[in-house]
Amino acid sequence: MAQGAYDAALSYSQSRKQFGQSISEFQLIQKKLVDMAVSLDAARFLTYRAAWLLDRGRRVTKESAMAKLFASEAAVQIANEALQIHGGYGFIKDYPVEKFYRDIKLCTIGEGTSEIQTLVIARQLLSPQDQLTVACR
């Protein structure tokens, strides 16, 4: 969903004209797009890291919670920025960003809220077993 919201914002910013140029040429819009792209990549890499460790038989409680927390929070931010880029059109059902904005919040609620993911990560970071693992790295 975050990728879809980003793609919609990128496409819209390139096609929407304001003051004789596409809004993608405005620095503020470029900054929003860059931040969205960076968050998407970071979420992907956290997820890939957890999967890579799982494939090697490692316990990934902390890593998967980190990926879920970051990806879901990033998705909400990306959807919000996509809506900002669309302006008033972002609320019209003719544009896909409206649905992304509505649906994406579920990511921070479903299958473990962001608060629960935070608690899981904290417990893992503070557990003697995790501290031993960190010391051995």
1 half-sphere exposure, CB direction, 13 A CA radius: 22
Does the annotation count 73 as an active-site position?
no
Q: Mind giving me the DSSP string for 36-60?
A: HHHHHHHHHHHHHHHHHHHHTT---
Phi and psi of 73, rounded to 5°? -65, -40
CB atoms near residue 112 (< 10 Å): 17
Q: Are 107 and 71 in contact (CB under 8 A)?
A: yes
CB atoms near residue 117 (< 10 Å): 21
Catalogue the active-site residues. Answer: 111
